[in-house]
Amino acid sequence: MILFKEKLAWAAPIAVILIIALFSLNLFAQGNPQVKNLPVALIVNDEGDHVDAVKLAIGQMSKGIDGKEPMLAFTNEKEADIEDLFDDKKYYAALVIPEGYNDRLQNAITNNAAATLKVYINQGFNMTGANYAKTALNGFITQLSNQYSKNFIAQMQGQQLDANQASVLVNPIVPEEKVFNAITASTANGSAPTLMAVPAWVGALIGGFIVFLATSNIFKNQLLTRKQAVRLMGGQVLFGVIIALFSGFTVATLAQMAGINMPSYFLVAFFVSFAAFCFYLLVSAITAWIGKPAITLFMVVMLLGMGVLMTPQEMLPSFFVDFIRPWVPLRFASEGLREIFYFGSGFYTGGSFNTILGIGIGGLVIYLLSIFKPVRGQKN
């Protein structure tokens, strides 16, 4: 058959394999996530033999099992600093040995009162990571409590116990949880920031590409002077402002209609608009230099990014952490909205805002430099 002799036709199955392989990369990120080295703060406010026993158990837990990396990575911190550390997203959780823990555990049976280990949970950082850390810490406390329970039962062998003593005997150590930066109700279980950031990228991508096609036709069909070309590029940037505002307020309006619990409608709308405009400038810059293939590039960036946006980096393969996660612009919009939703931030969200602004400024500079590309003559 004639078709089988065409080289371009044989490119189709090769292209299909490459595209499917690219789309399937997220299977490596999501297929079997391994939790390792989740950062957890250890706060010690007491001393004594029982406190040393907790430290020893943490040391054993930090070694991992069968040569594998441990689930939790502990770092000693002060309780006075923990709120700032949580706000800076340094830790998913904290284990606190409170003052008086040693004496309470020593006299648990006599006083009919269990000793308490506190678990602080930085829920707004990432709900998945915080839940894994909480589960691991509660499991650690349960195991420690069971060890003491066996020792206490051996000591109380043959003695008569009342109901209160029996309860303490079974659970001599109990956890006490406290949530920081809580994920509020009706925010898609903490996924709302990411779900609202994606439209900002998609809107910038589609809007930027359509405006690029329109300006390309003008450049192709008309002979423009440098001054006219600059005016046309200025119009393209102005269109970006319009597209960004439409994106931001559409996202905020639809989120409100869907019942998402936003801290402020206008704050969210303007932040999404800000992110969408900076992304639009990036899209405009790349398309101005390489043309239509840019749309494929940005789609690839989005598809690869979706696999890492909602997953803590400690659960991702090292390839995704080192080579994909740092280069996904969408991640910074998601992190900025997370600051607004759960950390009480205003329009300025710190590092995420600075990165998005840098993307916008860099995109604008690269876009303006495209004026020095050779200007095509008028189409005959």
The pLDDT of residue 204 is above 70: yes
Taken in order of first residue, the domains within the chain and their CATH numbers are: 38-180 (3.40.1710), 188-372 (no CATH)
pLDDT of residue 379: 44
pLDDT of residue 7: 65
Q: What is the mean pLDDT of the chain?
A: 85
132, 71 Cβ separation under 8 angstroms: yes
379 versus 246: the higher-pLDDT residue is 246
- The tens digit of pLDDT for each residue in 264-304 reads 999 999 999 999 999 999 999 998 888 877 877 777 777 77
Task: Give mean pLDDT, residues 341-351.
Answer: 93
pLDDT of residue 30: 58
∠ Cα 225 229 234 (to 5°): 150
Half-sphere exposure (Cβ direction) of 39: Cα atoms closer than 13 Å: 16
- The tens digit of pLDDT for each residue in 137-172 reads 999 999 999 999 888 888 777 666 666 677 788 889
Q: Angle, to 10 degrees, between the axis of helix 226-257 and the axis of helix 351-369?
A: 150
What pTM, to 2 d.p., does this model score? Answer: 0.84
Q: Which residues are CB-contacts of 217 (< 8 A; sequence separation ≥ 6)?
A: none
